[in-house]
Amino acid sequence: MLVPISWLDKYVDVKNENIDDIERKLIMTGSNTEGVDNMSDKFKKIIVGKITTIDNHPNADSLFVMKVDIKDEVLQIITSATNCSVGDIVPVAVNGAFIADGTKIKRGKLRGELSDGMLCSVEEMGFNKSVIPQKYIDGIFILRGDYKIGENVKVELPMDDPIIEFEITPNRPDCLSMLGMARETSATLNKELIMPDLTIKNEVDNIDDYISIEVKDNELCKRYAAKVIKNVEIKESPSWLQLLLMKAGVRPINNVVDITNFVMLEYGQPIHAFDLDTLEGNKIIVRTANDGEKITTLDEVERKLDATNLVICDAEKPVALAGIMGGENTEVKDTTKNLLIEVANFDSRNIRVSSKNLALRTEASARYEKGISPSIAEDAAKRVCNLIELLGAGEVVKGIIDIYPEEVKENEINVRASRVNKLIGFDLEADEMANILGKLNVKTTVDGDNITAIPPLYRLDLNTEIDFVEEIGRIYGYENIENTLPQGNSWGEKTYTQKLDSLAKEILFANGVSEITTYSFISPSTLNDLRISEESHLRRYVKIENPLGEEFSMMRTNLIANMLKVIKNNYNRKIEELSLFELGNIFIPKDIPVVELPYEKKRIVVGSYGDNETFYTTKGVLENFLDGMGIKDYTLLKEKNDNVFHPGKCATVWSDKKLLGSIGEVHPKTLANFDIEREVFVIDLDFDVVIEMANIDIKYEKIAKYPTIQRDIALLVKKEITHQEILDIINKNGGNNLESVSLFDIYEGKQIEEGYKSMAYNLTFRSKERTLKEKEVTKKYNAVISKLEEELEIKLR
């Protein structure tokens, strides 16, 4: 909402106030701004002048030599503009002036003739092209009105007129108007509000002889007021009106349209003017459209209607889409002689649906959608007539047709002063509150703690006690409310699960793994990239109905795809090594199509590559992670059938018969689908199971004080036998005093028979109660050896 200060000044005396001060104070009572446009900063030394002669340029066909009177002197100015006549009042940029685009105007010669300045267009005075009247887009701005020659335009037009842009919140549609902002200004600055002049000096004939109006749907059309203007002369508006409209962001058209726009901006009430002579049967009927009925709107588009559209009709046909746009057939043209001025109130819901169905949103429809009080229609109609007279645009016909069957009534709301004090946290008397409400034109009577409040009819947002709490608070000023802290004891801490979240991340940080954050939605094509089989349940996913694009349409069912995408981006950027993780949700539908909320499960995924990364370094991270989470008891089972992973380098991770997840090298085909050309290792865990299995309850175990006895064994093992198989036999047969077993060497190649490998283990024996004897250790050692030989055909080397 653009509010020029000179327009606001018509209702509240603000012209002598500091603009920054006004802006700041209004912000603090709830009218937030997007900024102030000081138009006059954009140019310098532009003076009002009058063209006294126009001659052809002696040396150029397309140029003219003009003499322009600027009171103290007469300047010779060369111009190519063709829209000027002798006697026109124009803005003149004199020698040394600056125009809005920053150009400095200097005295000079144009094709041999002296040019002592420049005549200005509207754009050169700082207006945006979109608000400049059609006729002035390529020409000089001809000033229409009583302007003093020789004066600076900043004062004379005026252009020294800051424009405040307000951000109007949805609860205050009444503020989408100059009067609305004037009321806020008046309440904020504690200044008197002056209402617009509604007097009509001279009225002729009787409206009933011109038109009759019938409203068939009083639900959708709450009020329909109309005035008739006769003997209209359509012409250009005076410059003061054009300038105000342009400053408020509206392009001037002609006197009648400009007046309706002016009153719309002033009151917030859309107004439509019909060419009265084009209405058949001297009749207006407001009704819903018949299915298939057609109208061509002012934008020259033929629109097919249905029963959701409310239409304004004459005796024969639709002539306007109610509250949205007028019809071409009854448009006001330069030749129009008589007008019907419509000031109506349409149901906001219907306008919203109607405008949505027609895909046609206009300034008027937007205002009806946001809500307008039916109470303002009559004043707005009178104001239009007042301005018609003021501009000499026509004669006002006596009488008003005003169909308003259910007049809105004033509403009484009880506001308890104690309640206001309790919610805001201050201590005001009921009378003080009533006084504040009075500034907002709320009528009040105070009875002890109770304030009976009657809000003005234009305030559609004041319906319950809490609405008044806000009004009292904001006008009192939030900055005047003391800061306190809530009373009472409460402590905060992370929940057990939240602590485990943090712990998991800390462990990974300590292992050199960095955290990433990726979107919760991803392309369904990643399911193919991951080579998830067609019939897999992992292909069931939650689909977004209105995604930003196909590539963001699937709620992720895994974290691996995003991880590989991030890895690919880093790989493309020549990052030599990385180790990353993400802890986030995946989404598993309960039903397809999705009806219920899906399962949201937390997973953690780690992805790494680099010259030193192997399956075993990644497994080291996994082991440190599980150990850190207190999951001591887990096993890895070889997994050959997970398409994501290399069939020879993948395992599932289990703890207490629960599947924790997978670890492996990513399958070369999967990598190729993600355009990654080096080995990538991934851990993918179900974090909910990790949390279930985690145990962070630490109990100290005494440090052993008796000495150890060590035994090394070097074994010749068939290639396919796994470490785990050997380990299980050693652990099973090593006795209670076998403290630990570690694999310290694996070797294949020279000196080792084809199909075999050498594996060397160190066994540590220790008792918690006593010093062990060599003999008993040797006994266990021998038992281990013989079992290894017996069960796995392993020989000592």
Q: Which range, of 73-81, 100-108, 401-409, 574-582, touches another protein by CB under 8 A?
A: 574-582
Residues 81-110 within binding reach of another protein (CB under 8 A)? none
Find the shortest distance in angstroms from Cβ 705 to another protein. 32
Q: Which of 478, 446, 513 is nearest to 681 (CA)?
A: 513
Q: Which range, of 114-122, 225-233, 374-382, 420-428, touches another protein by CB under 8 A?
A: 420-428
- In whole angstroms, give the CA distance from residue 457 to residue 390: 28
The alpha-carbon radius of gyration of the chain (Å, integer) is 42
Task: State how far Cα 464 lies from the chain centre.
Answer: 29
- In whole angstroms, give the CA distance from residue 655 to residue 689: 9
Q: Hey, which bits of 610-705 come out as E strands?
A: 635-638, 645-655, 658-666, 681-686
Q: Which of 346, 322, 344, 342 is nearest to 384 (CA)?
A: 342
Task: Tell me which of 37, 328, 467, 789 binds another protein, using CB under 8 A.
Answer: 467
Token readout for 450 is 């109770």
Token readout for 147 is 């302007």
Is 463 in a helix, a strand, or coil? Answer: coil
b/e for 64-77, b at 16 or more Cβ within 10 A?
A: bbbbbbbeeebbbb
- By the rule CB under 8 A, 187 interacts with another protein: no
Residues 28-57 within binding reach of another protein (CB under 8 A)? 28-30, 32
Length of the chain: 797
**In sequence order, what DSSP letters do the residues of 699-723 get, joined into one string?**
---PPP-SPPEEEEEEEEEETT--H
Q: Which of 387, 403, 391, 397 is nearest to 260 (CA)?
A: 387
Q: Which is nearer to another protein, 222 or 272 (CB)?
A: 222
- In whole angstroms, give the CA distance from residue 496 to residue 489: 21
Q: Which is nearer to another protein, 47 or 472 (CB)?
A: 472
Residues 578-637 within binding reach of another protein (CB under 8 A)? 578-581, 585, 587, 593-595, 597-598, 600
Q: Which is nearer to another protein, 470 or 748 (CB)?
A: 470
Q: Which is nearer to another protein, 202 or 490 (CB)?
A: 490
Task: Tell me which of 87, 405, 488, 755 binds another protein, using CB under 8 A.
Answer: 488
Q: Which is nearer to another protein, 461 or 679 (CB)?
A: 461
Find the shortest distance in angstroms from Cβ 531 to another protein. 23
Residues 501-520 within binding reach of another protein (CB under 8 A)? 502, 505, 508-520
Task: Tell me which of 263, 417, 469, 729 binds another protein, using CB under 8 A.
Answer: 469
Q: Which range, of 48-56, 117-125, 576-584, 709-717, touches another protein by CB under 8 A?
A: 576-584
Q: Which is nearer to another protein, 398 or 543 (CB)?
A: 543
Find the shortest distance in angstroms from Cβ 186 to another protein. 17
Q: Which is nearer to another protein, 349 or 719 (CB)?
A: 349
Find the shortest distance in angstroms from Cβ 623 to another protein. 16
Q: For residues 512 and 610, is the Cβ–Cβ distance under 8 A? A: no
Q: Which is nearer to another protein, 76 or 520 (CB)?
A: 520
- By the rule CB under 8 A, 479 interacts with another protein: yes
Find the shortest distance in angstroms from Cβ 221 to another protein. 19
Q: Which is nearer to another protein, 337 or 543 (CB)?
A: 543
Find the shortest distance in angstroms from Cβ 243 to another protein. 28
Q: For residues 165 and 35, is the Cβ–Cβ distance under 8 A? A: yes
Q: Which of 404, 401, 345 is nearest to 213 (CA)?
A: 401
- By the rule CB under 8 A, 543 interacts with another protein: yes
- In whole angstroms, give the CA distance from residue 127 to residue 521: 44
Find the shortest distance in angstroms from Cβ 548 to another protein. 6
Task: Tell me which of 146, 335, 485, 697 binds another protein, using CB under 8 A.
Answer: 485
Count of Cβ atoms closer than 10 Å to residue 374 Cβ: 21
Q: Which is nearer to another protein, 16 or 495 (CB)?
A: 495
For residue 146, what are the contacts with CB-CB under 8 A and spacing of at least 6? none
Task: Tell me which of 537, 573, 705, 775 binds another protein, using CB under 8 A.
Answer: 573
Degrees (nearest 5) of the Cα angle 593, 596, 601? 100
In which residue are the tokens 């349209």 written?
257
- In whole angstroms, give the CA distance from residue 405 to residue 258: 30
Q: Which range, of 376-384, 570-578, 640-648, 689-697, touches another protein by CB under 8 A?
A: 570-578
Q: Which is nearer to another protein, 199 or 487 (CB)?
A: 487
Beta-bridge mates of residue 52: none
Q: Which is nearer to another protein, 340 or 606 (CB)?
A: 606
Find the shortest distance in angstroms from Cβ 305 to another protein. 22
Q: Which is nearer to another protein, 264 or 508 (CB)?
A: 508
Task: Tell me which of 10, 17, 27, 144 binds another protein, using CB under 8 A.
Answer: 27
Residues 349-368 within binding reach of another protein (CB under 8 A)? 349, 352
Token readout for 95 is 């020698």
Q: Which of 33, 9, 236, 46 is nearest to 123 (CA)?
A: 46
Q: Which is nearer to another protein, 87 or 488 (CB)?
A: 488
Residues 309-348 within binding reach of another protein (CB under 8 A)? 348
For residue 373, what are the contacts with CB-CB under 8 A and spacing of at least 6? 174, 345, 408, 457, 458, 459, 460
Q: Which is nearer to another protein, 116 or 184 (CB)?
A: 184
| Number of amino acids touching another protein (CB under 8 A) | 85
Q: Which is nearer to another protein, 35 or 392 (CB)?
A: 35
Task: Tell me which of 544, 592, 637, 746 binds another protein, using CB under 8 A.
Answer: 544
Q: For residues 542 and 524, is the Cβ–Cβ distance under 8 A? A: no
- By the rule CB under 8 A, 293 interacts with another protein: no
For residue 62, what are the contacts with CB-CB under 8 A and spacing of at least 6? 80
- By the rule CB under 8 A, 470 interacts with another protein: yes
Find the shortest distance in angstroms from Cβ 563 to another protein. 9
Q: Which is nearer to another protein, 170 or 749 (CB)?
A: 170
Q: Which range, of 137-145, 308-316, 541-549, 755-763, touches another protein by CB under 8 A?
A: 541-549
- In whole angstroms, give the CA distance from residue 381 to residue 224: 11
For residue 520, what are the contacts with CB-CB under 8 A and spacing of at least 6? 555, 556, 584, 585, 587
Find the shortest distance in angstroms from Cβ 590 to another protein. 11
Token readout for 662 is 């997978």
Can you count the helices (H) and strands (E) in the chain?
A: 20, 39
Beta-bridge mates of residue 344: 224
Residue 702 is which amino acid?
K
Q: For residues 736 and 769, is the Cβ–Cβ distance under 8 A? A: no
Q: Which of 184, 358, 366, 164 is nearest to 264 (CA)?
A: 366
Count of Cβ atoms closer than 10 Å to residue 105 Cβ: 23
Task: Tell me which of 66, 555, 636, 729 binds another protein, using CB under 8 A.
Answer: 555
Find the shortest distance in angstroms from Cβ 31 to another protein. 8
Find the shortest distance in angstroms from Cβ 452 to another protein. 19
Task: Tell me which of 403, 413, 424, 752 binds another protein, using CB under 8 A.
Answer: 424
Find the shortest distance in angstroms from Cβ 562 to another protein. 9
Count of Cβ atoms closer than 10 Å to residue 198 Cβ: 14
- Report phi then psi at 141, rounded to 5: -75, 110
Find the shortest distance in angstroms from Cβ 170 to another protein. 6
Find the shortest distance in angstroms from Cβ 29 to another protein. 6
Find the shortest distance in angstroms from Cβ 350 to another protein. 12
In which residue are the tokens 């670890």 written?
663
Find the shortest distance in angstroms from Cβ 575 to another protein. 5
